Chains A and B, each alone.
Chain A
Amino acid sequence: MTNEHEIIQLILSAQKDSSAADYLINQYMPFIRSETSKFLKHPIIDGQDDDELSISMFAFYEAIMAYKKHKGSFLNLASLGIRNRLIDFYRKEKRHTGNLSLDQPADSSNEADTIADSIASPKSDVDDMVNISAANQELTKYAAELKEFGLNLSDIADNCPSQERTYQACMQVLQYAKSHPDIFDSLLQSKKLPISQLTLGSSIKKKTLERHRKYIVAILLAYTNGFEIIRSHLHQIQREGGK
């Protein structure tokens, strides 16, 4: 196990780079598993406790992002975070107690049949797989396009407006861009956001545009050609936009 100073360096690196965060989580998997086992009061059973383990890894990642230097032990923070997340997860799960799981065995002659198998679904699994595969391809292309702008989805998620007022301002920018398609051409050509033009046209402050530049680029990009699945997913925006 690396010493305290090295751990802190790894954490600070992981805060800025998602790959470094993945690496750190892999390094501390034994710790994460141990904390999960403590909570469950039994060793982790692969296949059965996957959700709990995922929750614990997620909590560990939250601890990485929340950690501040000279604020105490990181592992204590991570341990506390894992425990709290697992408690929350189980409280949510309790609400569903009494509900039947679609995955539980059906009352049929074939033990392998589940309740889900007995219910006639409007869609087939194959359709689901196709849809997912198509979306996957589109999203891979989308990520590649973002990379040309020097962006990745983790950065965009961090840059996404949390306040409703700011979110509405960004939507206003999108509406203006949709009514002026030359903006998308300019965006794709220059690989830069035309902030001045958008400021003038949308009446949104330049400061707002600059502060949430990454998010606005991602949203505008989704409305260029080749990203129909993403656009169709954004039906709530389209409904509110009225266009």
Chain B
Amino acid sequence: MDYLVMECHRGYAVVLDNAGHFIKVANLSYTVGQTVHSVIEMERPESVIDFSTYKKQFISIASAAACLCLLILSAWQFLFISYGTVRMQINPDVEISVNRLDYVIAIEGRNEDGKALIEGYKYSFKKLTTVSNELTDLAVAGGYLSDGGKVRVTVSSSHEKWQTKTESTLITELKLHLGDSIIVTTEEDDSSPEETAPAAVAPIAPAVTEPVVTETQPVQSEAPIHSSSVPVNDDNDDLDDGPDDDVNDFDDGADSFDDGAGDFDDGVDDLDDAGAGSFDDNGAGNFDDGAGDFDDGVDDLDDGEAGNPDEGADDLDDDDQIDD
């Protein structure tokens, strides 16, 4: 191959070979027009590619990737970082970690029973209230929790509002789920079932309509009809105030509602003045036996004949009519 020297510069020369290639070579004291037989060819720098387009593409891809990373990081904060913990102590001691959305992200048994309780339990994608209910169910099924038992709940978080709200919600939810037979409490309000006085529980008001004779105050039982706690039993588990007479009634004596003072029917001001075991004074089983009750002639629905709503004055039906 021959090379025709086309141009000379300080650091190089341009030559043309026989095949038509223009080449930059070392200028070994060449003269333009000279033909040489060997040259030292220049090493071509990497082909100059216009990176501006690639740069723009790279920037847009990098920006999108950065946004995606930011999104993932934010989602991570919400989904996988613990926002607070809930400790449930029955006898099994369990700590539940919760994320910002109140989903459970971790559970840990704090004692042996706690570890045993949660073994095999799947908490993924479950809310705190669901998990707490299910864990108490497991505790009941496992014999750790029964009627009269207690569940102590402690909510911890650096976020005060969340802590307060979660505590309140959780207590309510557990009480609804477990019923009144099991105490649900927080660490601050640690009242045991033994300390609960029956009187502290509001009695269920009797289903009494407005009494006809109102001189005396309507008697209300001081003794609770129903207690949310285990009733105080003297001996024989009757429900009245008096001595244990083995009679499960609400009054002092016989099995009726109106046998004496202090109960619902001790005379005038009750539904049943004299008789026992019924609402009527003299007769049996009807509503109109005497004054002061629904069925004493004039002022009741049925003055004379039983079963006839249409007899007397001032009743609903004097003359075969419902109205007067």
Contact = CB atoms under 8 A, between A and B. Distances in A.
B33 interface: yes
A224 B162 CA distance: 89
B33 A21 contact: no
A22 B9 contact: yes
Contacts of B35: 135, 233
A154 B14 contact: yes
Interface in B163-195: none
A54 B29 contact: yes
A21 B32 contact: no
Contacts of B2: 233
A237 interface: yes
B45 A21 contact: no
Interface in B1-19: 2, 4, 6-7, 9-12, 14, 16-19
A117 B16 CA distance: 30
A58 B22 contact: no
Interface residues of A, number: 52
Nearest to B23: A157
Contacts of A154: 7, 9, 14, 24
Interface residues on B, range: 20 to 34
A135 B40 contact: no
B21 interface: yes
Contacts of B27: 54, 57-58
B42 A58 contact: yes
A166 B123 CA distance: 66
B18 A153 contact: no
Contacts of B18: 233-237
A184 interface: no
Interface in A150-166: 152-154, 156-158, 160, 162
Interface string A212-232: 000100110000000001100
A74 interface: no
B20 interface: yes
Interface string B196-232: 0000000000000000000000000000000000000
Q: Which of B12, B25, B34 has the most CB of A within 10 A?
A: B12
A80 interface: no
A25 interface: yes
A171 B20 CA distance: 9
B20 A25 contact: no
A73 interface: no
A150 to B, nearest CB: 16
Interface of B: 2, 4, 6-7, 9-12, 14, 16-29, 31-35, 40, 42-45
Given A66-B43, A132-B34, 14 more contacts: A54-B27, A54-B28, A57-B11, A85-B40, A136-B32, A142-B6, A152-B7, A153-B6, A157-B24, A158-B24, A162-B44, A167-B21, A234-B20, A235-B18
